[in-house]
Amino acid sequence: MSEKLQSHFFKSADGLNLHALDFGAESGAVPVICLPGLTRPARDFVVLALFLSTRTHRRIVGIDYRGRGGSDWDPDWTHYSFPIEFTDILTVIDALGINSAIFIGLSRGGLHALTLGGVRPDLVKGLILNDVGPQLNPAGLANIKNYIGRLPLLRDLDEAVEHYRRVMGPRFPDVPDEQWRFYAENSLNITPERLRLSYDPQLARTMESFDPEAPLPDFWPQFCALKAPILALRGENSDLLTPEVHAQMAARNPLCQTHVVPGQGHAPLLLDSPTLERIAAFVNEVDAAPRG
């Protein structure tokens, strides 16, 4: 896998280094672009990239937002905003010379992908939303606010695996040990003293003003206007995407298919075989659809 996986760096408009992982070779198939969650790195998608590259023979790219993964941390935490991240995403996509792609967006990445479908409909050939929709449950956002930027003292990976299993386990009861280890490795950076978060802890400040009683942004107009095929994934135990909103997504946009990942919460890890197979099947369907 390492022979095919390449790192690329690009300059943002304000001079930061933006990192992207590039997997697979150019082919006639539409490439896939993976957009992570709020605190997550592009390497979350490595298993999915290997699977899709093998099954569907296409290029897969994962993008690290500023302050996450291999991208530079921003000295000004207020730049960890949706509009600036969106501009960074377009910078990387344009630098890679990609003019049409299937997007896989995990949580916040799904909102970026949904927005791309409205701003650049020519760019979005298909869309996979992982446990996110046009209407979010405030309880799920409150839970994210409670853990973002916080980490107990962890000295090695075994301690990290136990930490994530203890914290996330109730919503992810069926995740095997090797998947917890993969998640922990992606979540943390190893230093001589301790394990540290793989993202800038200042990201927590972006959630300080969140009020669960205040109205949330409404993405229904953008979602209903999408003209590309959509696959909406939901974790069975998700506290961010409710079953009701998940069902409405299919009812309100006829291009939307739905799939529930059993035994997982927010957000499904995209490591289990049934989910990988479902994603690969959808990607192949998008390829086979007539080009408008």
Q: In this predicted model, what pLDDT tens digit does every residue of 163-198 receive, in sequence order?
A: 999 999 999 998 999 999 999 999 999 888 899 999
Bridge partners for 62 per DSSP: 21, 34
Other CB atoms within 10 Å distance of the CB of residue 35: 26
Instruction: Please state the length of the chain.
Output: 292
Kindly report the pTM of this predicted structure: 0.95
| pLDDT tens-digit readout, 150-167 | 999 999 999 999 999 999
**Phi, psi for residue 196 in degrees, rounded to 5:** -125, 160
Q: By C-alpha distance, which of 288, 292, 279, 133 is closest to 227?
A: 292
| pLDDT tens-digit readout, 29-46 | 899 999 999 999 999 999
Fold of 6-149+199-288: Rossmann fold (3.40.50)
What residue ranges do the domains of the chain occupy?
A: 6-149+199-288
